[in-house]
Amino acid sequence: MALNFKLIVWIFFIYVIKTLLLPLSSLLLISLAGLLLVKRQPGVAMILIGFSVGALLLISLPIVAKCLAATQEIYPPVKQAALRDFSAQAIVVLGGGLRRPAPEYTGQVTLKNRTLARVRYAALLARQTHLPLLVSGGKVFKTSVSSEAVVMAAVLNNEYQLPVRWQEPTSRNTAENAIYTHKILSNGHTEYHSCYSCIAYA
């Protein structure tokens, strides 16, 4: 229980910091700082408030949001012509979260939309390339019912009729995805193509 409590606190801390650093929360904090400085330093306060409000207006525009999102798409989708030249020997699918409970599936655990999108694209590539699949994703808490890897493998098997050669069910984040996936594929001397996500090795 003590270990689980520490883990919960650590995860909560990470998510709080991450939320505060995101544009919306960080800009609201800057605006709040400006409001607190109105009486003591009105000039600085106006700059902070003006900057935060202006930035909020900008990022709320669809064209700005689209341009910012485009900067994150550094790896383009695999082109049809390039599939013939694949030197990779496996397709790796990283988990993106589970939804629990899912009432429409009689309360069972199912994949979040972003995870399902990765699985769907992996299934497409697997059919086009005939490369074996590896699914990577564990569970944050030991008490969780299923790991992401197990659920992804079940979806690929049951809904796409595609076998999964390897399951990596122990990782809790992207860094561990990379470490444990590398160990699995290195044991088989396999090079691989990361599907829909980029694995960053720590």
Q: pLDDT by residue (tens digit) across 22-37?
A: 888 899 999 999 999 9
Task: Looking at the structure, give the CATH architecture of the domain made up of residues 80-195.
Answer: 3-Layer(aba) Sandwich (3.40)
Please determine, for residue 193, whether its predicted confidence score (pLDDT) is greater than 70: no
Residue ranges per domain, the chain? 2-72, 80-195
What per-residue confidence (pLDDT) applies to 86?
Answer: 66
What would the pLDDT profile of 35-74 be if each residue is shown by its tens digit?
999 999 999 999 999 999 999 999 889 999 888 888 877 7
> Rounded to an integer, what is the distance from CA 167 to the centroid of its chain?
18
Angle at 132 between CA 194 and CA 196, to 5 degrees: 25
Question: Which DSSP category does 85 fall into?
Answer: G
More confident call, 181 vs 145:
181
Query: What's this model's pTM, rounded to 2 decimal places?
Result: 0.69
Residue 66 in tokens: 């689209």
What per-residue confidence (pLDDT) applies to 166?
Answer: 95
In the chain, which ranges are E strands? 91-94, 98-102, 108-111, 133-136, 166-168, 193-195
Work out the average pLDDT over 95-99.
88
